[in-house]
Amino acid sequence: MTDRLPGPTKMTDVANADAPQMPLLYKNPVAVSAQHHANVKVKRNRTFRYASKIHAVPVLAEEMPQLQNHYPLVFGPGPSAGVMALLGLRAGENLFLREDFTWAYNAQIPAYIGRYPFILVEMPEDKRLVLIMEEDEEILIRGEGAEGDLPLFKDGKGTKEGEDILNYCVAFNQSARQTQLFCEEVEKLGLLVDQRAEVVTPEGKQLSLSGFRVIDEQKFNELPDETFLEWRKRNWIGLVYAHFVSLGRWQNLIDRLPKGV
C-alpha cells in the first residue's frame, strides 16, 4: 500500500472565502467575536478526535528537538514545503490516538494540533490579523459548561483565557515564519532529496509511504564553513540534527500499528 503526504497549505488561505483549500483540520472557520461567541467556552478536558484522520502534521522549528523523540520529521513535497511530523503510515490513520481519542502517553502533542480550533490569519485587503476558529462542538461549548472550561468573553469583553489563546496564536505565527525561513534556506541550497519509506509490519505486510523529502547528510556535511557558522548562529544546526535523529523513529509507528495490519 502506497500513500503520499499532503502538500503544503498557506495559512492565509482561510482568510479568503473563495480560497479553494483550507489549512489542515479547518473546514469552515469564522472570526471570533463577542457578538457571536459571548457564551462560548473551550473545554479544558479535550479529546483529539479531530486529528484522528491525519497521518502528517506541520511542525514548528522550535519544537523539533522535542518531537524528534516521538515522530519521524520530514520535509513535504514542493518548493514551499515545510517540516512535518509523521503520525501514521497510511493516509487517514493517526497512530498516536487511543480508543477514547486522547493522545498517547508520553508523546508530545505537536503545536499545530494543540492550537486547534483557533488560527490567526491575515486579511489580504488590509493586512489586518484576525483570530478565527472552527466551531467544533467537541472542543467548544455554549453556556455554563463544566468547571475549568475556558470562557472567551465575559460581559462583552475578552477574558484572560481568551487573551492567552490569542497570544499563543501570535507566538505560533511568529515561530511559523522562522520555520519557513529555515525551510526556504534548506530548499535553496539543494539539500533535500526525495525519499520513500518501506516498512514491514509484524504480520509481514509491506507498507510504503512516499511524497516526502529528507536532508541529504552528505550534502549537509559539504556545506561551506561560512554557511555552517551562519546556521549555527541562527540555531539551525540543531534543527538539522533533530531531523536526522527523528528518522530513526519509524519503529515508533510500526509498533503502534493495530494488530492484523
CA 77 to chain CA mean position, Å = 15
Q: Does the pLDDT of residue 46 top 60, yes or no?
A: yes
Q: Is residue 261 part of a domain?
A: no
Domain extent for 52: 2-256
Q: Is residue 223 part of a domain?
A: yes
The reported pLDDT for the residue numbered 125 is 73
Listed residue (216, 235, 225, 102) closest to 94, CA to CA: 102
**Within a 10 A sphere around the Cβ of 188, how many other Cβ atoms?**
9
**Mean pLDDT across the chain:** 88
The reported pLDDT for the residue numbered 112 is 97
Q: What percent of the chain has pLDDT over 90?
A: 71
Q: Does the pLDDT of residue 62 top 60, yes or no?
A: yes
pLDDT band at residue 261 under the 50/70/90 scheme? low
Angle, nearest 10°, between helix axes 237-246 and 225-233? 90
- Check residues 191 and 78 and name the one with the higher pLDDT: 191
Q: Is residue 176 part of a domain?
A: yes
Q: Is residue 105 part of a domain?
A: yes
Q: Does the pLDDT of residue 3 top 80, yes or no?
A: no
Q: What percent of the chain has pLDDT over 70?
A: 90
Listed residue (7, 51, 9, 17) closest to 130, CA to CA: 17
Asked whether 104 and 239 are in contact (CB, 8 A), the reply is no
Listed residue (176, 6, 149) closest to 91, CA to CA: 6
The reported pLDDT for the residue numbered 8 is 34
pLDDT band at residue 198 under the 50/70/90 scheme? confident
Q: Is residue 156 part of a domain?
A: yes
Which of 4-8, 29-33, 151-155, 249-253 is predicted least confidently?
4-8
The number of domains in the chain is 1
- Check residues 148 and 58 and name the one with the higher pLDDT: 58
What's the Cα-to-Cα distance from 93 to each of 87, 98, 212, 230, rounded to whole Å? Answer: 8, 12, 17, 39
| 3-state DSSP assignment of residue 94 | coil
Query: What is the pLDDT averaged over residues 48-71?
Result: 96
Q: What is the 8-class DSSP label of residue 22?
A: P
The reported pLDDT for the residue numbered 5 is 35
Q: Residue 20 region, left (φ>0) first, then alpha (ψ -120 to 50), else beta?
A: alpha
pLDDT tens-digit profile of 165-197? Answer: 999 999 999 999 999 999 999 999 999 999 988
| 3-state DSSP assignment of residue 218 | helix
Q: Does the pLDDT of residue 1 top 90, yes or no?
A: no
- pTM given for the model: 0.88
